Amino acid sequence: MARDEPHAPASTTPLREYLDRPAPGADENYLVVPRVLAQSMPLRWQQVFTGLLADLHDAYANEPWPDYRVVPSRWEVLADLDEEQLAATGFVADLGPDGELEYRDSADRVVEDPYSHRVLAPVDDPLPPAAAGRVEPRPAPSL
């Protein structure tokens, strides 16, 4: 019997590798899991996830965990933002000396092309709150 081909060793950083590619709720520093979706997972997944979270919290219990404020956000074109979104992102829109609307950043610099300049702006949360109940997952593809 022929020997099996040697296999590449399993990654020693699988979570980093997974999250380094585009993933919902992840950026270069944080992973956010919407509670309503976590609580909507099948029971077995919830049991495993709870165990993993318990291990994480136990292992890092001595770290100075801050409280986090999570704000649902999307990359939006600056010129499409309302006043509230502009304020939250540190921009203002006002009439310039020529009577045209101009956008300024928090350092009072004019944004040259607000119609292509994109910023991470707060938006209404498209997911229901955890208290709203279960969110049905999409069905698995047929085999």
Could you tell me if residue 29 is inside a domain?
yes
Q: What mean pLDDT value characterizes the chain? A: 91
Asked if residue 20 is part of any domain, the answer here is: yes
Question: Would you state the structure tokens that stand for residue 34, as one six-digit string?
Answer: 């919407």
User: Phi and psi for 12 in degrees, rounded to 5?
Assistant: -95, 0
Instruction: State the DSSP H helix or E strand holding residue 41, giving kind and residue range, or none if neither.
Output: none
- 56 falls within a domain: yes
CB 116 within 8 A of CB 124: no
Q: Number of structural domains, the chain?
A: 2
Residue 28 lies in a domain: yes
Q: Is the pLDDT of residue 40 over 90?
A: yes
Contact 135, 95 (CB under 8 A): no
Across the range 49-65, mean pLDDT stands at 96
> How many degrees, rounded to 5, is the angle at CA 21 between CA 118 and CA 130?
75
- For residues 58 and 84, membership in a common domain is answered with no
The pLDDT, as a whole number, for residue 11 is 86
Rounded Cα distance between 105 and 111, Å, is 7
Higher pLDDT, 82 or 1: 82
Residue 110, pLDDT > 80, answer: yes
- 1 lies in a domain? no
Residues 64 and 85 grouped into a single domain = no
pLDDT greater at residue 139 or residue 30: 30
pLDDT of residue 139 exceeding 90, the answer is no
pLDDT reported for residue 25: 92
What percent of the chain stands above pLDDT 90? 80
Return the minimum-mean-pLDDT range out of 1-5, 26-30, 85-89. Answer: 1-5
Helix (H, G, I), strand (E, B) or coil at 106: coil
Pair 63, 77 in one domain: no
pLDDT-derived band at 5 (thresholds 50, 70, 90) equals low
Structural domain boundaries, residue 42: 14-68
- Are 52 and 88 members of one domain? no
